[in-house]
Each structure stands twice: as structure tokens, then as C-alpha cells.
Structure 1
Amino acid sequence: MNDSAIDYAAVFQALPGMVALLTPGLVIADVNEEFLRAAGRKREQVVGRLLFDVFPENPNDPAATGMRNLKASLQRVMATGERDAMALQRYDVEDPERPGHWQERYWSPCNAPVLDPGGEVVLLVHRVEEVTELIRARGGRSTGRAQGLEAELYSRARELQELNERLRRAHAREREVALALQEAMLPASRQVGNHRAAVRYRPAVGALNVCGDWYDLVDLVGGHRLGVSVGDVVGHGLAAAGVMGQLRSALSATSRVADGPAQALDVLGRYAHVVDGAESATAVTTFIDFDRHTITYSSAGHPPPVLVHPDGRVEFLDRATDPPLDARPDPIRRPEAGTAFTGGATLALYTDGLVERRREDIDTGLARLADSLRRHRAADPETLADAVLLELLPPGGATDDTALIIVRL
């Protein structure tokens, strides 16, 4: 039998369990008959509507987390392009015959992507097994071992619900700490003489609002000069943020007394050897001399900065690239290179979360970044930064942290 002879619509309807096809915007594109039967809905009540409009969270249950957990899973699938099997979820459903009345339901969901030839997620397969009857253990229909199993499942589901609520509260407290830490360690956008700098910071999907990526702007001694740096520490969360803070502070201090960016990274590399958690950390730093219209730069395993000239020519600053900060047990002097710019040019530094995607060569991401910067080069730095993030980051967020800094020269 060849593909043309297969009735895929009939296959879809025959799939076991409840199955829905969702768009990347989480709109229901299609469902099988089992989905309608178990959900107690008609097709016109479901298809073409946002999933969480059809099945909202139970407003009478302040501890409900099913909708939030499901949304996070779907966003992970969109960001990674990989299947995500969820733990058992309690997700109450409003009785279609009695608005305002909610039925306690338990589900075992699994979400998978449908990719186009380019590897982009074009649809999401949302498959669900309802296990409510197994959880309830009611009505005396089961006895002995089966009834004990149902009671155990019910108890475990309750424990899972309580654990989810404790984790939610702990996450909220940790997020408050993360936000305070981020605000204390990372500088805001600033005016540099007549030049404006814009900064953006996006944590990975599912991470706290603080992570291992960092950026810095440093007023350098002697003349009208500015040091601009970005770096990347492996990992997410508060531990990575602590390492990030140490490396950022060290490079900020070193840049003020170094004779150039290479020497600044030399010293930082030696420091990284004694910092737990700094393994494989990367950084790139640029020294901008506004009087001489020059940029000197050096990179320790980091993606190259991008210089966009006023005429639209794009230049990657990639002639001084070296291994990551702690790669050599006996550090040697790092390379350093320079280039010239004219007034109105734009310099962009970033971390790999902006350009790297799974199953895609990094050159593709770099080309996408260059094109976005070139097309929007006439915009002010704040508008330009927003445009770049909008065009390069996946709609559901990236799986890696992203930092971006743009300076109008």
C-alpha cells in the first residue's frame, strides 16, 4: 500500500485516546471523535478556538495547576521541536450542560510536534488518556487488589497536586530573589555621550528570570572610550547567576586597567580557573574609541559581535577568537583585532541563545541576525533590539538564555 492509498483522516479518527491538533498559537485545528466524546463537547464548540478558552482552569480551585502545566509543556515542544510526556494532571472540566459546575477529572497527556521540511513546528499533536475512573475508586465496582490500586492512584494524585502547589509557591519566592539579583548585577540601558545603548535579557523557557548570560558597559580610562561585553555561563537558575555575577564583576574591573580587550580576557581566564561553575564559560569584549572611530575586540569562545555600517554592510568581528575562558591550564595571551567605523554605525553583542537552534547550522542563525540588523539599522537602538528579538526568538521562547546589547556608534 502506498501513501496515496492511506486515508489519513480515518487513521486520525481511529487513533486511541483523545487527540487534538493545535496550531503554534494553541488554537484547536482538529480533534478526533474520542476527544469530543470524553470532553463532552460538539465540534463547533472546539475547533477554531483557543485551547484554554475551551478548557479554562477551574476558577473555584486556587491550587489548580493543570492549565499552567499544560501550557508550559506545549511551549517546550514549540521551543525544542521535541516530544514532551507530562506527569499525571488534575484538570477539571466545566459541565457543558451546567455552566459554573466543574467536574473533577484526571488526565495523562503527551504532546508532540509536527515539523515542516525546514524543521519548524507547524502543528502540535496533543494526545490525552483520561484516567479519572482509575483515580476515583468509587462505587464499589472494584474490590481487593484492583480497589487497592485505585485508592493508591488516588492518593498519589492528591500528593502530586499538593506537591505542585508547594513547588509553585517555592518557585514564586525563588523568582523574587532572582529578579532582585538580576536588577543588582546587570546594568540598564544607558546614554554614552551622544550614543545610546539598548540591552535585552531573556531567560530560557522554564527558567527563572535570571540565568547565566550577562552583559556589561564600562567607561574606560583615557579619552572617550567604552567597554562593551557579553558572556555566557553554562546552566540556569541562581547557581549560574552567582557565577555570572563573579565573572561580570571581574571583567568590569579588569577592563578599566587593561591595555586592551585581550589582556582583560587573559586575566578573566585565570580568574575563571578558581571559580566553581565557570567551566566552559565564554565571553567577548570590545573596546570602543569614539575619538578614533575604532573598535578593538577579543573573544573567548563566544559568537562574534556584529558591526552594521550606515550603508548596510555587515561585518562580523571574528578575527580574534580563542577557546573559552578556562580552556587552557596554562593561559597564553589571547588574540586581539581591530576595525574602523563611521558615525551612525551599529554594534551588536549577544549570546548564543539568539542564534543557535537545534538541527540548524549556526551560520543560518548568524545570517538571520545579520539580515535583521541590516533591515532595521535606521531604527533607534531600543526599537532595533525589540525587532531583532521578535524576529529571531521562537514565539514560545528559546531553550537557551539570551542576552543582547546594541550600541549606536
Structure 2
Amino acid sequence: MSEPAIDYRAVLQALPGMVALLTPELVYVDANADYMRNSGRTREDLVGRYLFDVFPNNPNDPAATGAGNLEASLRRVIATGERDTMALQRYDVESLQRPGRWEQRYWSPINAPVLDAEGRVVLLVHRVEEVTELIRARGRAAGDRARVLEAELYTRSRELQEVNERLRQAHAREREVALALQDAMLPVPHLADHHQTAVRYQPAVGALNVCGDWYDLVELPGERLAVAVGDVVGHGLAAAGVMGQLRSALSAASRVSAGPAQALEALGLYARSVNGAESTTAVSVHIDWPALSLTYSSAGHPPPALLREGGAVAFLDRATDPPLGARPEHGSRPQVRQEFAGGDTLVLYTDGLIERRGEDIDVGLGRLARSLATHRALAPERLADALLHDLLPVAGATDDTALVVIRL
């Protein structure tokens, strides 16, 4: 027996409380009966119109902040893909029966995203509780005390908004410093002319979600190259500091080790002495051009991709071990040798490129393989840009991404 079809528009209309659906451009798609009744607007007044054309700030109140605060909340939801609960808002509404007369109203809004399969925000759920009558009832019941409480609530909400703004500015400053540190630690490599290589670092949209990822390329004797990417657990300046220490340590270990497994073993021992380095993931690949071979080892990191000239994609996933510091006792790590042909392409990346909330990693790997096959004829610089365009959410990723593309 098939499941009965669900009339989601009827569900929206039956929801208790005021609920409206908005596009990412803040245009009304629909609203339930409670929303229309309590706002004094019909469906025709709302659907297809820009939110702040329908409900602008009170022009008679120069200090009015309702529209600005609401827009800031909705923009945060679009940028982060996360729900945002607002403080109590005074947001006056113009009377349709008496144009030019603005009614003092108080609201408690919650804004939430609706995401598609790629993690992009495609709709916004705008849920509102009107508390105007509650505040007025308290005023009638308690007289001056309630009016003082009303003013205090409004003042507290303004203070909370100011605190949130200061935190946002502090986070923005931390982001700027962290990204500057990231740029200093991840210079564009100066490789020999025969190495067609592209590197990218794409920061996350959130102020605190940057600087955990790194890449490194080390020229070795005999036309060989050690290339690695890694991902520190954590964000912000602390993660940037840990990232810098681990990147430098792996770079040094790659120069003196017999192969990538030995380099990661040395890095694992070093990571035990670095606060915040626990559970860092990393993968290292040594490229030997005269032998047409790759030797690789992974510490819990997503597998590198080997794009064949004809479009087939193989993931280098046969030498995977736990992340750094994840085992109670130190042990040797595996490594595997893989042959390649001239014209093949090696791609290393961090999980921000492929992983999405609530989705199996194999789905993201499949997206990567399809994108690589589609753009296989592109040179590394253009291929790197195409991968970021295809795989990162339009609204911006919530995790940073490091990417290395090398034409073999």
C-alpha cells in the first residue's frame, strides 16, 4: 500500500503561530493564516513581494531598528545555513485601514533555512510570535511597573543586539588576522617549470571557521615531489597556529624520510606534543616522475583522486590509517605505490570540498569524480577553479577548503 500524499501547503496553513516562507532574495512565497491575520495582510499583499516593501521601518521613528535587525538575521541564515533566534523586537506596523498611522508592536522571531541536497539555502522559514498583547496586558495589570518592565525588555534587547554586534566585529577581526596568518603560512609554491600545479585555499563563510586546513609541496632530489594536505580539528587563530606547526614539521620530515608513511609517522610523534593537534588528518603523496609512480599514505584523510587522461577517476584509498594521535600507542603506517601515465592529474583536497551535513561521504566523492571527468581537458589552474565552482555551495561553505591539482 502506498503512503498517502501529504499536502504541504495545507500543513503550512494549519501550523499554529505566524509562519511565512521567503526566498533567499527575501521575497514572500507563502504565509499561513495566523501570519496574515496577525500582520493584517492578505495573501495578495504578501506573495511575490519583497519583505521590507511590505513591512518597512516606521519612518516617524529615526531610532527604529526592526527591519535592519530582521534583515541581518535572515542574511546570517543564508550565509551560514544555521537557524537564528532573534531577541525581542519592537517592529511597528502601518495600519492598512488608516494609512500613515503606525501601530506599536512587539515580536519574537525565529528564522530557519531549508537546504537542498547540495547544502544550499533555497527557502527561509520565518516564524514569529507576537507578544504585543502580553506586554500591554502586563501594563494594564501592573500599571507603571509593567511599563517599566516593557521599557526594560526593550532596552535589554537593544543591549543584547549591541553585544552581538561587538562579538560580530571581534569575530571579523579574528577572521582577518587568521586569514592573514594563513596567507603567510601557505605561500604559492615556486616549482620547476615542468610541474603544472595549481593550489587553492577557500576560507569558510563563518568568521570562526577558518584556518584549520593546509597544503604543502616539497621538491625532492631526482625529479621527485612530496605533496600533502591536512586538516586540523578546530577553527580560528588557535587552529592556524597548530596548522603552521604541523605543516612545517611534515615539510621537514618529507625531506629526510624514506617515503610518505615514514613522514607521517614522524608527524604523528610530533603531534603528541602539540596542544590541539589531536585527531588531525593528513595525506602525503610522493611523486616520482622518472619512475612514473606515486607512493602515498593517509592519516584518516579523504583519499586523493587520480584522474586518468581518458576521464576515469581512481581514489587512492588503499593506505589509510587513523588520524594523528588517535591511537594509544605509536605504530608504523602503511603506504602504497601507484603507477601513473603522462597526462594524468593528481588532486588532493580537504573535506570542505566534498562533505555536506547529513550526507554520506561517498556521495561527495561521486560528485568530485563527475566534475573531474567533465573538466579533464582543462589545465590545472582552470581545473582547480572549475572544481571549486562545481562542488562548493553557492552561499559559501561552512568549512574551509584546501586544494592541490598537479598534471603528471
| Residue identity matched to 2:75 | K
Give the structure 1 partner of residue 29 of structure 2. Answer: 29
| Cross-structure match for 1:68 | 72
In 2, Cα distance between equivalents of 1:167 and 1:132: 29
* Alpha carbons of structure 1 residues 67 and 120: separation in structure 2 relative to 1, 3 Å: closer
For residues 289 and 90 of structure 1, the distance between their equivalents in structure 2, rounded to whole angstroms, comes to 63
Residues 119 and 237 (structure 1), Cα distance of their counterparts in 2 relative to 1, 3 Å cut = closer
State the alpha-carbon separation in 1 of the partners of residues 268 and 3 from structure 2: 57
107 and 271 in structure 1: CA distance in 2 versus 1, 3 angstrom threshold: farther
Displacement of 1:351: 1.2
Q: By how many angstroms is 1:311 displaced?
A: 0.8
SS in 1 for 2:200: strand
The 3-state SS of whatever aligns with 1:211 is coil
- 1:281 maps onto 2:271 in alignment: no
Aligned twin of 1:187: 187
The aligned residue for residue 210 of structure 1 is: 210
Alpha-carbon separation, structure 1, partners of 2:263 and 2:53: 54
- SS for the counterpart of 2:86 is coil
Q: Which amino acid aligns with 1:334?
A: R
Cα distance, 1:175 vs. partner?
2.4
Question: What corresponds to 2:304 in structure 1?
Answer: 305
Compute the TM-score of the two structures, normalised by the length of structure 1. Answer: 0.83
What CA distance in whole angstroms lies between the structure 1 residues aligned with 2:194 and 2:224?
12
For residues 5 and 317 of structure 2, the distance between their equivalents in structure 1, rounded to whole angstroms, comes to 53
| Number of residue-to-residue matches in the alignment | 402
Identical columns (%): 64
Deviation at 1:287, TM superposition (A): 1.2
**Higher mean displacement: 317-326 or 89-98:** 89-98
**Displacement, 1:332?**
2.0
**Counterpart position of 1:251:** 250
**Residue matched to 1:396:** 395
Partner SS, residue 176 of structure 1: helix
Instruction: State the match for 2:340 in structure 1.
Output: 341
- Counterpart residue type for residue 67 of structure 1: E
Q: Give, in angstroms, the shift of residue 407 of structure 1.
A: 1.5
Give 1:198's aligned amino acid: A
2:125 counterpart residue number:
125
Unaligned runs of 5+ in 1: none
2:357 match: 358
Q: Distance in 2 between matches of 1:193 and 1:144?
A: 80
Q: CA deviation at 1:36?
A: 4.9
**Equivalence for 1:238:** 237
CA 1:382–1:90 in structure 2 vs 1: closer, same or farther (change >3 Å)? farther
Q: Deviations over 1:244-285 (max 9, x none)?
A: 111111111221222211111111000000000011111001
* Counterpart code for 1:47: V
- Given the alignment of the two structures, is residue 155 of structure 1 paired with residue 159 of structure 2, yes or no? no
Task: Report how far residue 342 of structure 1 moved.
Answer: 1.9
Q: Which moved more, 1:124-133 or 1:375-384?
A: 124-133
Q: TM-score, normalised by structure 2?
A: 0.83
Deviations 1:160-218 (CA, angstroms, capped at 9, x unpaired)? 12212322332232222122111111123665423332223233442347321111122
Alpha-carbon distance in 1 for matches of 2:404, 2:284: 12
For residue 233 of structure 2, give the secondary structure of its aligned residue in structure 1: strand
Distance (Å, rounded) in 1 between the aligned partners of 2:99 and 2:111: 28
Quick check: 1:227 aligned with 2:226? Answer: yes
**In 1, Cα distance between equivalents of 2:222 and 2:250:** 20
Which whole-Å CA distance do the structure 1 matches of 2:182 and 2:374 have between them?
31
Q: Distance in 2 between matches of 1:241 and 1:23?
A: 36
One-letter amino acid of the structure 1 residue matched with residue 366 of structure 2: A
Q: What do you get for the CA RMSD once the two structures are aligned?
A: 3.8
Cα deviations by residue, 1:339-386 (Å, 9 ceiling, x for unpaired): 122222111111122222233221121111111111111112232222
Question: 2:317 aligned with 1:318, yes or no?
Answer: yes
| 1:286-339 C-alpha deviation (Å, 9 max, x unpaired) | 111223322111111111100101011211111211111112343222111121
Evaluate the alpha carbon distance shift between residue 256 and residue 157 of structure 1 in structure 2; reply closer, same or farther with a 3 A threshold.
same
Displacement after TM superposition at 1:121 (Å): 6.5
| Residues 324 and 101 of structure 1, relative CA distance in 2, 3 Å threshold | farther
Structure-1 residue corresponding to 2:177: 177
Distance 1:385 1:53 in 2: 41
2:346 match: secondary structure: strand
